């Protein structure tokens, strides 16, 4: 049975709503990135090309603290590994067209750029294949627009304001804290988080800036064994 107009409308409006909410997150990324020393163009390039929020925040957070290129790269890339997992989960749902045939390689390579937290959540929430595809594409495109627009506005605002006095650097820990709860629902998640935070703080005085973030990933081992 094909989805009704009402069902399709529900999916489209939920996806668009999420898109506008994410635009606000992008504003704070733009502000935070500029407060860490990125130019407006660099903040925009990150949102356009990298297009995965937590990694972008992480890279600019390490850069702002004075970390090296490669430590900033390492932490941000580790955070991007979950997009690989999402990709595996979404392939069966999104890589085929309405006729049941696999999409051409080019279309799949374009779709891959949009494999992130939000599209995964919206797509996997729909069990009907056509609605799942609608959820993926509407979320992907609305998010891509609002994420880049929000970054531009935030970065422009950040470049003319006194970012330190206005506390824009505090946007980083607040943003990470807001992203955390989804990962703390299980005992394993809580163990991994606690170990990660403790290891990072304990190592900071002894290793180059940004390295403590990389080593904190050992929290995963404590989490997985608990």
Partner 1 sequence: MSGATLSAGELWLLIIVLSGAAYGLKVLGFVVVGGRTMPPVLNRCLALIPASLLAALVAKDTFTTAQELVLDARAVGLVVAIVAVWRKAPFIVVVVAAMAATALVRALA
- Looking only at residues 134 through 173 of this chain, which bind partner 1 when binding is defined by CB under 8 A? 164-173
Binders of partner 1 among residues 93 to 122 (CB under 8 A) are 94-95, 105, 108-109, 111-113, 115
Regarding 64 and contact with partner 1 (CB under 8 A), the answer is yes
Regarding 54 and contact with partner 1 (CB under 8 A), the answer is yes
C-alpha closest to that of 195 among 172, 225, 173, 217: 217
Query: DSSP 3-state assignment of 210?
Result: coil
Compute the least distance from the CB of residue 102 to partner 1, in Å: 10
**Residue 25 phi, psi (nearest 5):** -60, -40
Compute the least distance from the CB of residue 216 to partner 1, in Å: 3
Of residues 13, 81, 97, 125, which one binds partner 1 by CB under 8 A?
Answer: 81
Regarding 123 and contact with partner 1 (CB under 8 A), the answer is no
Binding mask 4-23 for partner 1 (x = CB under 8 A): -----------------x--
Alpha helices in 161-208 (DSSP H): 171-179, 187-203
Of residues 84, 104, 125, 187, which one binds partner 1 by CB under 8 A?
Answer: 84
SS3 content of the chain, % helix, strand, coil (to 5): 80, 0, 20
Binders of partner 1 among residues 175 to 214 (CB under 8 A) are 175-181, 183-184, 188-190, 192-201, 204-209, 212-213
Of residues 8, 12, 16, 87, which one binds partner 1 by CB under 8 A?
Answer: 87
Q: Are 87 and 112 in contact (CB under 8 A)?
A: yes
Of residues 9, 17, 66, 97, which one binds partner 1 by CB under 8 A?
Answer: 66
Of residues 40, 86, 134, 140, which one binds partner 1 by CB under 8 A?
Answer: 86
Compute the least distance from the CB of residue 5 to partner 1, in Å: 29
C-alpha closest to that of 144 among 43, 50, 30: 50
| CA–CA separation, 39 and 54 (whole Å) | 19
| CA–CA separation, 7 and 139 (whole Å) | 15
Size of the site for partner 1 (CB under 8 A): 107
Q: Are 43 and 29 in contact (CB under 8 A)?
A: yes
Q: Are 172 and 49 in contact (CB under 8 A)?
A: no
């Amino acid at each position: 049975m094909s989805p009704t107009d009402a069902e399709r409308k529900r999916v489209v409006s939920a996806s668009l709503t999420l898109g506008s909410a994410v635009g606000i997150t992008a504003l704070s990324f733009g502000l935070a990135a500029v407060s860490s020393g990125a130019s407006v163009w660099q903040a925009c390039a990150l949102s356009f090309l990298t297009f995965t929020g937590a990694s972008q925040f992480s890279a600019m957070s390490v850069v702002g603290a004075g970390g090296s290129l490669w430590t900033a790269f390492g932490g941000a890339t580790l955070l991007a590994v979950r997009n690989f997992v999402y990709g595996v989960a979404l392939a069966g749902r999104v890589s085929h067209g309405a006729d049941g045939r696999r999409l051409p390689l080019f279309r799949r390579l374009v779709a891959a750029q949009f494999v992130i937290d939000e599209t995964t959540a919206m797509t996997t929430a729909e069990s009907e294949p056509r609605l799942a595809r609608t959820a993926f594409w509407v979320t992907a495109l609305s998010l891509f627009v609002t994420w880049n627009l929000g970054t531009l506005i935030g970065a422009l605002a950040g470049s003319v304001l006194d970012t330190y006095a206005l506390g824009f650097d505090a946007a980083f820990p607040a943003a990470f804290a807001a992203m955390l709860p989804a990962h703390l629902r299980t005992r394993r998640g809580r163990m991994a988080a606690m170990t990660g935070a403790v290891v990072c703080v304990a190592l900071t005085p002894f290793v180059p800036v940004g390295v403590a973030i990389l080593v904190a990933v050992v929290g995963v081992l404590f989490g997985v064994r608990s």
